[in-house]
Every structure is written in C-alpha cells, then in structure tokens.
Structure 1
Amino acid sequence: MVEGLYEVFGRVPRPGRVEGCSHCVAPDEDRVLLGRPVRELEPEVLARYAAKALSTWGGVAEFRYFLPRLLECAAADAFVYPDPPVVFGKLAKAGWTEWDAEERGAIEVFLSEWWDRTLERFPSRPAVGTVLCSLGCTGIGVGSFLERWERLASDEAIRHLHEFVLHEVGWGPQPRLVDAYWGRDGREVVGWLTGGRAVAAVEAAFAREDREYVLRLLDEVHTTLDR
C-alpha cells in the first residue's frame, strides 16, 4: 500500500537540517530524524515531528521528505500522539493538491487503498470513523469513500457501519459525530446517515441477505438510522 509513496517521494532530497521554533524544538533535535533512512525511523522517534510539522518544526520541503513514513505510521495508528487525523490534516496544510501529478497520484492511491483495506477488515485499527475523518482532513472530501461504503459489499463493511452508527454518532435532536477532529466533512457524513442514502443501502443489503447474525446487525443499524 505504501510502496508507491516511497518510490515517488524517495526522490525528495534529504534535508541538511530540520529547523524548528527555538522555544519548541531543541537545537539538535533533528539529528535523530536524519540519522537513518526515513523508512527506518521508529514511530516513537518520528512522533514529535509528526505533531509539530509545518507549525513549529520544518516546512513543506522537509514534510515531503518524511511524508511516506509519516503516512505509513499514522495509517497503522502507530503514534501514541498525534492522532491520525492530525497527521493527515498536514497534507492539506502543505497544499498537496497543488503538487505535481505523480505525487498527487501516489497519495491518492495510498488513501484509496487504505480505505478499501479498512472496509475489508473488522475490527480495524484505526477504527473506520478515524480513517474516514483522516481522509476528510486531507481536503479531498469524503463523498467517494461514502459511496464505496454504502455498497455494503462484505460482512466487514456491514460490521463497520454497525459499529460507527451505534458508537461514533451522537443521536440527539441534532445528530453529530463524536470525533472532535471532524470539520465540514462531518456534516456530509451526518447527511449521508440521516438523508436516506445509508438507510437505502441497509435496506438493499437486508433484502439480499439470509444469514441471521448479519440481518440482526442490519436491523439494529436501520432502527437507529430510522428513528
């Protein structure tokens, strides 16, 4: 999944230094980042930079150099901190949609494959809601990912929807997503859940299913969405 990123961004020159805010980053703190190949950086070594990149430590050039390993670790939920949406949100901050076509393509493939692999495994780490939120934080929108999810093409996709609807949505008078990192894409997801598309997807899956445990999951999702 990540090989395309390493191939394309492996051409980015290794920075001589990664300068940071003198109040936030020690003068020699970048040495541990530059002391070995980027692919070999352990998550605990990279985590502090992942949290501070593009704000108080380094610029876009350095971020591009570390990007494959940053996304690889964040997608695996390998950082204790920062959370995946924080790391993926730095793509938007770096203006990645204005980079050259090959670089954009490598990132798009990575994001797409990450989503597909998430839907294929249950449980997943990160959870499906965190993955979807992270994708939204990149700035590309979540519409195409929701379209793929609503096919409910596997037991795992159904179980993800069950988990998400029952545990990651606050069902008050105005439904909201509980993950604090959601921005404007959160409204699109809520609209997808409450506007009929998700209900229709659940009903279509129910109609073609005959296994009792899957029917039970679908029924619980439908009951929650149709309240």
Structure 2
Amino acid sequence: MTNELKKSIEQLYTTFSSYPFPSTIVGCPCCVSDTDKAKIHNSQLRELSEEDLSRYAFKAMTTWGDVNDFKYYLPRILELLSTTDFIVDTFVVLGKLNYGKWTTWTIEEQTVVKQFLLAWWEDLIKNKSYFDQEAFIEIYKLLGAVDELLNKWEISFNDNSFQNVVDMIDRCYLDLINDSKDYKDFDKKEVEKIRLWLTSKKEIIETGFFYYENSDKELAQKISNALYILEYY
C-alpha cells in the first residue's frame, strides 16, 4: 500500500468521525435480518470485517439506514474496498456515493473522498497485478474527468505501472475507442484524451519490449500486441 493511500484512509476516519455510532439503524425486515444488524453493531468501526460489512455495504441507504449512517461506516467500507478482496463489487460500493449525493456533502467530506479515490487509483496502478477496469470506470464516473487519473499514472519498470498500461491496451483499448457498453459513461472528449495519452507512451512501451524480451516472453508478446493495437487502431 502506498503512503498516500494510508494517509487518505486516515483522513476519511478523521473527517467522518463527527457522525455518531448509529446504535439503531432501521432496515427493511424483508432484506435485513437481526443477524445482519448484529454484525455491524458488535465491534468497533476499525475492527469490522469484510463479512461484517458486506451486507450493509450492499443495502446501505436503499433498504438499510440513511446517509448519516452510511457516513459513519464509510471509512471502514472504503478501507476494506482498497485493501482487501472485498466481496461487494466496486461498482456497488462506489455507486453508493452517488446514491448518497456525495457532491452535496460538505467541502471537507467531498475533498477527502476525492483524495481517497485518487490515492487508491495510484495504489492500484502501482501494486495490482492487472489493470482494474472496473475501478477505473467507477472512479471516473465519480470524478467526471480522466486528467487527474492519467496524471497519477507514472509509468515505471520498478512496479506494476508499466504492466498495467500494457494490460489496459491489450484488454480494454478497443472497447474504449469503439464505445462499448462498459465505457458508455465516458464522454468522447475524455476517450480521446485517454487515446492520445496512451499513444504518447509508445516509446516507453517499445523500451519495455526490449527490457522484458528475454526475461518474460509472455509479457513481451503482450507488449508486442499492445504496440500493434496502438499502431493500427
């Protein structure tokens, strides 16, 4: 985990600590059991596990509690999302922010959420072993622009940032430029920014081919495919 991600998680806890522990949260009796309720009330916030919070993260605000309840649990939910293989899909968790109208929250709350999203994105780029398309799409939908995401993507052979750019081109580039359903929420100008950014990285991608040509033949082949895609599409 990057230091920036650690800091952003702590800032979430600090900022949302003003919301009191919700000792009672109203939930739809058809959707939320007493066992579900007990799981989120029987431990301190930072000690709640993925299993404890998965049901709540899925049902929050729609059939269980209100936005203030959600804000209390939000730091732990986002910490689990960014540091574990959280059972709840990214699009569900981040979709709750829009459902809770996060852009109407206080400036401080909006700022720490944005800082978290960018720090998590940078951590994914550097440390995840593959390009996380779902996180990329969902973070973009919340921020509404790709500039800051691309600015955070510094390509290096010392972490996974290089492999991730190759993986993105190999698996996602054609869907992106051909307006597939996965990228239906992307503005055409934003798509063009991504295309130009990727095209501008051809030189370092070519360097990467020779860097990995003998040490990782599978990756070298993937790099070759990525260069072909950028050249002809």
Length-normalised TM-score, structure 2:
0.78
1:5-154 to 2 correspondence within 5 Å?
A: 5-26=12-33, 29-80=36-87, 82-123=88-129, 127-149=131-153, 151-154=154-157
Q: Percent identity?
A: 25
> Using the alignment, how far apart are the partners of 1:111 and 1:173 within structure 2?
24
Equivalent residue number for residue 185 of structure 1: 186
Give the match's secondary structure for 1:226: helix
Change (3 A) 1:122 1:32: closer
CA deviation map 1:151-193 (0-9, x unaligned): 524452220011122224555993537xx5x551386664345
Structure 1 runs (4+) deviating above 6 angstroms are 207-210
> Using the alignment, how far apart are the partners of 2:170 and 2:178 within structure 1?
15
Alignment: residue pair count = 218
Question: How many angstroms does 1:21 deviate by?
Answer: 1.8
Question: How many angstroms does 1:72 deviate by?
Answer: 1.0
Equivalent residue number for residue 4 of structure 1: 11
Choose between structure 1 and 2: higher helix proportion: 2
CA deviation map 1:70-108 (0-9, x unaligned): 11111234322x211210121122122222222222222
Q: Return 165-174 or 19-28, whichever deviates more.
A: 165-174
> Using the alignment, how far apart are the partners of 1:88 and 1:173 within structure 2?
24
> Using the alignment, how far apart are the partners of 1:92 and 1:64 within structure 2?
13
2:230 maps to amino acid: L
What residue ranges of structure 2 are gaps of 5+ in the alignment?
1-5, 214-218
> Using the alignment, how far apart are the partners of 1:109 and 1:91 within structure 2?
14
Length-normalised TM-score, structure 1:
0.80
Question: How many angstroms does 1:57 deviate by?
Answer: 1.3
Preserved CA contact (<8 Å) 1:119 1:160: yes
What residue ranges of structure 1 are gaps of 5+ in the alignment?
none
Question: How many angstroms does 1:13 deviate by?
Answer: 0.8
Question: How many angstroms does 1:128 deviate by?
Answer: 2.7
